[in-house]
Amino acid sequence: MRWWLLPIFVALAGLAPLECQAQATQSNKVSYEGQRVAAVDLVANPKISVDSLRPLVQQRSGEAYSNSKVENTISALKQTGRFSKVELDVKPDPGGLHLTFTLEPALYFGVFQFPGATKRFTYTRLLQVIDIPNQTPYKQEVVAKAGGALLEFLISAGYFQAQVRTEPQFDETHMLANVVFHVNLGKRAKVGIVEVHGPEPSEANRLLHAMRSLRATARGASLKPGKSYTPKRIDSAVALMKRDLANQHRLASKVHFDQSHYHADTNHADIIIDAQPGPIVKVRVQGAKLSWLPFLRGRQMKKLIPIFS
C-alpha cells in the first residue's frame, strides 16, 4: 500500500460525517411557508417605542407566512443601526403562527416577587400560575396577562377580595426586567348556600345532607355554611358525593363543581354542584378469585373494572 494515499483516505473519512450532519440539519429545518400568520410582535428595550418600527415589518398578521418577507423585515430592522441583532421566534398556535421579532439588546424577565401571597402559597406554585418561562423577552402584555392569571388563581382559592398590582423593575446593567406582583389577599370567603343541580329534589337533598354529615367533616369535605371556602374542600365534597352515589350502585354518575356566586356584603360564596346520577348497575364476578381475603375482593374489583373509576 502506498503511504501517501493514507492522508487522502483520512480526509475523506472526516468529510463524510460533516456531509451527513449538514443533510440532517437541512432535513430537520421546519418550513412555515404558506401557513397563516395570526400575530406579529416586536419586542425591544422598554425605553424604545416600537410603533415607529412597525412600518418596516413586511410580514403582516392575517397573511400567509413568507420567507422573503420575514428576511426583508429582519434586514430592514438591522439597517436602522439601532440593534445589534434581530431574533425571530415562531410559535405555532391553533389560530395560526405567532411571530416575535426580538430587537437586541432587549430586556429579559429576571426575578419575580410576590409580597403578600407567599404566606399562603408556595413560591413554586405562584411561578406556575404566572407561567413566564426562562429567557422570555420582556413585554408589558406578558406582565398584564400574568397579573390577570394570578388574580384568577387567588379568586379560585377563595380570596374573592384579592387585589394584584404589578411593578416592573428594570436592571439595565444585567439587561433584566424583574417584576414584583404586589398582592393584597383580603379575607378568605366562607361557604354560603350550596345547591345540587341535576338529580330529583329528594336525591339532591340527600346528597346535601351527606356533605354536611360527620363523615364529611372528618374527611374535610363538609360544605356547611360558614366553613372556609377552599378548592380542596370543594374537591373533597365532590369526591364524597361520587362515592355516595357509587354506594347506591350508581356507578356511572358524573359530579363536578359548576360555579360559585360571591356576596361581597357577607363575604360568603354560594356553591353550585352539578350531579348527574347514572343508572343503577350491579356487578357480580363469577369464576375468578380476585383475592383470598374477603375484605380485599371489593377493592380489587374496583381496580380492575373500568365502570368503578
Can you give the residue range of the structural domain that contains 211?
190-278
99 and 136 in a single domain? The answer is: no
198 and 271 in a single domain? The answer is: yes
153 and 179 in a single domain? The answer is: yes
Domains held by the chain: number? 3
Q: Flag whether 27 is in a domain.
A: no
Give the model confidence (pLDDT) of 42-52 as tens digits: 999 888 888 88
| Residues sharing a CB contact under 8 Å with residue 114, sequence separation 6 or more, in sequence order | 121, 123, 126, 150, 181, 183
E strand spans, the chain: 37-43, 85-93, 96-104, 108-113, 163-171, 176-184, 190-197, 254-263, 268-276
199 and 254 in a single domain? The answer is: yes
Q: Range with the lowest mean pLDDT among 61-75, 142-156, 184-198, 239-253?
A: 239-253
Q: Flag whether 236 is in a domain.
A: yes
Query: What average pLDDT does the chain have?
Result: 85
Q: Mean pLDDT: which of 84-88, 245-249, 260-264 is highest?
A: 260-264
95 and 131 in a single domain? The answer is: no
Q: Flag whether 295 is in a domain.
A: no
177 and 209 in a single domain? The answer is: no
Q: Flag whether 115 is in a domain.
A: yes
Give the model confidence (pLDDT) of 171-188 as tens digits: 988 889 999 999 999 999
Average of pLDDT values for 275-292? Answer: 69
Question: Is the model more confident about 308 or about 104?
Answer: 104
- Kindly indicate the confidence band of residue 278, based on its pLDDT and cuts at 50, 70 and 90: confident
Q: Flag whether 23 is in a domain.
A: no
Of the residues 75, 104, 133, the one at which a domain ends: 104
Task: Please check the confidence at residue 232 and state whether its pLDDT lies above 60.
Answer: yes
Of the residues 84, 104, 124, the one at which a domain ends: 104
Q: Flag whether 250 is in a domain.
A: yes
From CA 103, how far away is CA 88, in angstroms rounded? Answer: 9
202 and 273 in a single domain? The answer is: yes
Q: Provide the whole-model pTM.
A: 0.71
173 and 204 in a single domain? The answer is: no
Q: Flag whether 79 is in a domain.
A: yes
112 and 94 in a single domain? The answer is: no
From CA 136, how far away is CA 41, in angstroms rounded? Answer: 13
211 and 274 in a single domain? The answer is: yes
Of the residues 143, 158, 184, the one at which a domain ends: 184
3-class DSSP state of 165: strand
Give the model confidence (pLDDT) of 73-120 as tens digits: 999 999 988 888 999 999 998 999 999 999 988 889 999 999 999 999
From CA 255, how far away is CA 211, in angstroms rounded? Answer: 13
Give the model confidence (pLDDT) of 58-68 as tens digits: 999 999 999 99
Question: Is the model more confident about 123 or about 16?
Answer: 123
Task: Please check the confidence at residue 218 and state whether its pLDDT lies above 70.
Answer: yes
Q: Flag whether 99 is in a domain.
A: yes
139 and 212 in a single domain? The answer is: no
91 and 118 in a single domain? The answer is: no
Q: What is the pLDDT of residue 29?
A: 60
- Supply the CATH number for residue 273's domain: 3.10.20.310
Average of pLDDT values for 213-229? Answer: 92
Task: Please check the confidence at residue 302 and state whether its pLDDT lies above 80.
Answer: no
